[in-house]
Every structure is written in structure tokens, then in C-alpha cells.
Amino acid sequence: KQEVTQIPAALSVPEGENLVLNCSFTDSAIYNLQWFRQDPGKGLTSLLLIQSSQREQTSGRLNASLDKSSGRSTLYIAASQPGDSATYLCAVRRSDYKLSFGAGTTVTVRA
């Protein structure tokens, strides 16, 4: 059974600091890994999707890395802004095509 863990559960940083969010998974037989953003009371928005054959993906200030063999992914957000405050979830696509989600890391960027 695939288990996805995100540590820490919450993070507070001053504006301008770089953010590092961690995601670990127990079964390395994954098809891809996605990072989502969730704002309070809203649905999830996909940020980055990394195929299992890729090592990283970048979009603007966001960079996500994937180390499948060690079961880890890291989301980097450069030069954080108050608008980056949200909950960030990672999800891995399993061999049965379903997603397993972590519980998320809630980020607060202080102005």
C-alpha cells in the first residue's frame, strides 16, 4: 500500500525566504508525482507534474525534484511572497492509476 508523508505539517517564513517542502512515499513504483496548491475553502490547483522518468520540473519560481529510488520529492519556492500562503499537497500516481495524497504542508509567508 502506498503511503505518502509530508513533513512538516506547517511552516511559517518571512517574505523573501526560499521555501522547501518535502514529500516522501513508500512504494517507488509510481507513474508520476504531482504537487497541488489548496487555498482555504477552495479546491486543489495542480502546480507541477513530474513523470517517473524525470528528475525535476520547473515553472516560474517553483521547482520540483523527484528521486524515485529513495521515494522523495521536494518542492522549492524561490523568494516567497504572502500570496504563496496556502496548503501544498503532493500526490503520487500508483500502478493502478489512482492518486495517493499526502496530508499537506500549510505554509504561511509573513509580510
Partner 1 sequence: NAGVTQTPKFRILKIGQSMTLQCAQDMNHNYMYWYRQDPGMGLKLIYYSVGAGITDKGEVPNGYNVSRSTTEDFPLRLELAAPSQTSVYFCASKTGIGLGAKNIQYFGAGTRLSVL
Using rule CB under 8 A, residue 27 touches partner 1: no
Please pick, from the candidates 73, 93, 105, 107, the single residue that binds partner 1 as defined by CB under 8 A.
Answer: 93
Q: Which is nearer to partner 1, 13 or 49 (CB)?
A: 49
Q: What is the CA radius of gyration of the chain?
A: 13
**73 in contact with partner 1 (CB under 8 A):** no
From candidates 7, 59, 103, 108, binder to partner 1 by CB under 8 A: 103
CA-based max dimension of the chain: 43
Of the residues 14, 41, 60, 83, which one makes contact with partner 1 according to CB under 8 A = 41
Binding status of residue 68 toward partner 1 by CB under 8 A: no
Backbone angles phi, psi at 83, to 5 degrees: -70, -10
Residue 110: what are its φ and ψ, rounded to 5°? -90, 130
Using CB under 8 A as the binding rule, whether residue 40 contacts partner 1 is answered as no
Query: According to the binding rule CB under 8 A, does residue 95 interact with partner 1?
Result: no
Question: Residues 18, 45, 58, 95: which binds partner 1 (CB under 8 A)?
Answer: 45
Site for partner 1 (CB under 8 A): which residue of 11, 13, 28, 31? 31
**Residue 50 CB contacts under 8 Å (≥ 6 apart), including other chains:** 32, 33, 34, 56, 57, 64, 65, 66, 73
The burial of 38, by beta-carbon neighbours within 10 Å (0-12 exposed, 13-18 middle, 19 or more buried), is given as middle
